[in-house]
């Protein structure tokens, strides 16, 4: 099998070691000759380059070349797969996305609510630029995108580059499945899940277990009602137990944890510390650890140096790339243009649904019509996100204000405008101009 060239866009990310670890484990299905780290932040990229080289050496993969670059031509020419995980504005801007809405008593979150919208307007331009580079230097490559906020990014890319070889992926569904399986005593490898929604905004309707030969949804729902979930990371522990809380109120489906921001914004605002948000936790945690690892390698410190998260996230991405390469026709939850997958939802919505991946790309399955509760929520959210993407392409303040007002975490147009105006200032270096 031809060995593949993988380019990680946003190479300096703290997620990179986990992804590369998954690549190394996946050499039988996705053999690799070269890994390129592409990042506009030279310091972070250099740190990651040291870490990845060290990993490869330690694990006996000196046959795989590692390169680092900030030059798109070098990064993409002849690449087979682009793993896109850029974070426009970095954690500094994530912190603002989280803190500004909280100041106004609204949900402040990386991908949901107005923080997510601010992040969306920031990310569209650089993501389109990235896709443009890939079109120019590696038009046959597959882009696996997990840059957030994914529905908004997908909507923008779809408009500018219809038919692009890009797959939008989020690890949250397997994250949920993994956690449920571990906590409630199942083996997720046996699961065939049915789920629909928008990204970070959806519901499970069925989980068929191959070994038990039945739909285990009823028993999972019952366990969620009564049995606590235990997760090590406190904020994830809270998020997963919010799934339980939501099931207690709406017992028919298992919701994505991110729906808490739309259903119970008040609870989130009460819980959140407006002076210390998730971005701060990441800066003081993963970010600091990554920096320390690189420093130790630089100073030739001996002993156990590597300390990073390796789990579902990297494995999922490698699984999808392998499915494309080997025509595996494996099932994943993916973010695609609806086109009838959810038959009673507008065809041009970007949805997250089960899909099979093989050599020709993604084939989403056709689901049954959905009920009014979820449909109504999704329609409002889709419209808000489309308005935001319109605001980007039309440089329209009015469309941005409409998007902010329609966002389901926002109670009125007064506060929508206040947050929008403050976000415009905070994002001056990143957002397109919005004309009144």
Which range, of 43-51, 64-72, 167-175, 328-336, touches ligand G6P by CB under 6 A? 167-175
Q: Which two tokens stand for residue 249?
A: 């109120």
Q: Which of 171, 209, 319, 390 is catalytic?
A: 171
For the chain, what is the largest distance between any 2 Cα atoms, rounded to a whole number of angstroms? 60
126-165 mask for Mn ion (x: CB under 5 A)? Answer: ----------------------------------------
Site pattern 40..79 for ligand G6P (x: CB under 6 A): ----------------------------------------
For residue 196, indicate whether it is catalytic: no
Query: In 380-435, which ranges are E strands?
Result: none
Q: Is 121 helix (H, G, I), strand (E, B) or coil?
A: helix
Interaction between residue 169 and Mn ion (CB under 5 A): no
Residue 163: CB minimum distance to ligand G6P, A: 25
82 binds, among ligand G6P, Mn ion, none (CB under 5 to 8 A by kind): none
3-state helix, strand, coil in the chain (%, to 5): 50, 15, 30
| Residue nearer to ligand G6P on the CB measure, 170 or 259 | 170
If contact means CB under 5 to 8 A according to the sort of partner, which of Mn ion, ligand G6P, none does residue 67 touch?
A: none
Least separation in angstroms between CB 399 and ligand G6P: 25
Say which residues have a Cβ less than 8 Å from residue 345's Cβ, sequence separation at least 6. 338, 351, 370, 375, 378, 379, 382
Nearest residue (beta carbon) to ligand G6P? 172
Under 8 Å between Cβ of 184 and 207:
no
| 191-198 and 361-364 strand pairing | unpaired
Give the DSSP per-residue string, 323-337.
Answer: HHHTT--EEEEEEEE
**Residues 97-136 vs ligand G6P: string with x where CB under 6 A?**
-------------xx-------------------------
Residue in 9, 143, 167, 172 binding Mn ion, rule: CB under 5 A = 172
282 binds, among Mn ion, ligand G6P, none (CB under 5 to 8 A by kind): ligand G6P
Shortest Å, Cβ 65 to ligand G6P? 29
Cβ contacts of 308-313, under 8 Å, gap ≥ 24: 308/14, 308/17, 308/18, 308/21, 309/15, 309/18, 310/17, 310/18, 310/21, 310/22, 311/18, 311/178, 312/171, 312/174, 312/175, 312/178, 313/15, 313/18, 313/19, 313/171, 313/175
Q: Binding-site residue total for ligand G6P (CB under 6 A)?
A: 9
In the region spanning residues 183 to 222, those forming contacts with ligand G6P, defined by CB under 6 A, are none
d(CA 117, CA 114): 5
- Is 255:112 a contact under the CB 8 Å cutoff? no
Candidate ranges 165-173, 203-211, 347-355, 412-420; the one touching ligand G6P (CB under 6 A):
165-173
Q: Rounded distance, CA 224 to CA 222, Å?
A: 5
Quick one: 360 exposed, middle or buried, by C-beta within 10 A (0-12, 13-18, 19+)? exposed
Binding pattern for the stretch 141-160 against ligand G6P, x by CB under 6 A and - elsewhere: -------x------------
Binding track, positions 267-306, relative to ligand G6P; x by CB under 6 A:
-----------x---x------------------------
Q: Which of 80, 155, 171, 319 touches ligand G6P by CB under 6 A? A: 171
| 48 vs 34: CA distance, rounded Å | 15
Assess contact for 127 and 152: CB atoms under 8 A: no
Q: Which residue is nearest to Mn ion (CB)?
A: 170
Peptide bond just before 137 cis, omega within 30 deg: no
Q: Of the listed pieces 29-37, 166-174, 330-338, 415-423, which binds ligand G6P according to CB under 6 A? A: 166-174
**Partners of 167 in beta bridges:** 144
Residue among 258, 262, 316, 392 flagged as catalytic:
258
Rounded Cα distance between 261 and 119, Å, is 16
Which residue of 23, 118, 166, 170 would you call a contact of Mn ion, by CB under 5 A?
170
Report the nearest approach of ligand G6P to the CB of residue 61 (Å): 26
Residues sharing a CB contact under 8 Å with residue 177, sequence separation 6 or more, in sequence order: 188, 191, 193, 207
319 is catalytic: no
Q: What residue has token string 């990680």?
A: 8
The nearest distance, CB 401 to Mn ion, in angstroms, is: 27
Residues noted as catalytic: 171, 258
Binding residues for Mn(2+): 170, 200
Which residues here bind ligand G6P, judged by CB under 6 A?
A: 110-111, 148, 170-172, 175, 278, 282
């Amino acid at each position: 099998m031809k060995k593949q060239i993988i380019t990680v866009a946003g190479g300096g990310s703290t997620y990179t070691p986990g992804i590369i670890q998954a690549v190394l484990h996946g050499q039988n299905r996705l053999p690799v000759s070269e890994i390129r780290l592409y990042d506009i932040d030279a310091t972070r990229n250099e740190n990651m380059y040291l870490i990845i080289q060290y990993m490869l050496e330690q694990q006996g993969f000196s046959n795989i070349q590692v390169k680092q670059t900030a030059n798109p031509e070098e990064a993409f020419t002849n690449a087979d797969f682009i793993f896109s995980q850029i974070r426009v504005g970095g954690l500094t801007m994530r912190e603002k996305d989280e803190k500004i809405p909280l100041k106004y008593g609204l949900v402040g979150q990386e991908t949901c609510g107005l923080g997510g919208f601010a992040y969306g307007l920031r990310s569209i331009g650089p993501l389109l630029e990235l896709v443009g580079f890939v079109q120019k230097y590696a038009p046959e490559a597959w882009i696996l995108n997990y840059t957030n906020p994914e529905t908004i990014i997908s909507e923008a890319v779809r408009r500018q580059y219809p038919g692009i070889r890009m797959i939008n992926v989020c690890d949250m569904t397997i994250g949920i499945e993994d956690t449920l399986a571990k906590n409630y005593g199942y083996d997720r490898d046996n699961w065939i899940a049915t789920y629909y929604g928008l990204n970070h905004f959806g519901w499970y309707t069925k989980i068929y277990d191959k070994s038990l030969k039945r739909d285990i949804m009823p028993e999972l729902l019952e366990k969620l009602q009564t049995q606590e979930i235990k997760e090590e990371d406190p904020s994830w522990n809270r998020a997963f137990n919010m799934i339980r809380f939501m099931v207690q109120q709406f017992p028919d489906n298992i919701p994505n944890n991110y729906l808490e921001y739309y259903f119970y914004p008040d609870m989130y605002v009460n819980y959140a510390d407006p002076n210390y948000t998730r971005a701060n936790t990441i800066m003081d945690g993963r970010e600091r650890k990554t920096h320390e690892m690189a420093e130790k390698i630089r100073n030739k410190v001996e002993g156990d140096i590597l300390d990073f998260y390796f789990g579902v996230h990297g494995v999922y991405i490698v699984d999808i790339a392998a499915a494309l390469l080997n025509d595996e026709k494996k099932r994943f939850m993916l973010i695609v243009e609806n086109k009838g997958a959810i038959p009673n939802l507008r065809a041009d919505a970007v949805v997250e649904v089960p899909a099979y991946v093989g050599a020709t790309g993604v084939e989403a399955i056709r689901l049954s019509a959905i009920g009014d509760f979820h449909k109504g929520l999704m329609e409002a959210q889709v419209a808000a996100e489309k308005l935001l993407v319109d605001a980007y392409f039309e440089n329209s303040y009015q469309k941005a204000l409409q998007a902010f007002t329609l966002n389901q975490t926002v109670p009125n147009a007064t506060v929508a405008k206040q947050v929008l105006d403050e976000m415009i200032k905070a994002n001056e270096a990143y957002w397109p101009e919005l004309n009144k």
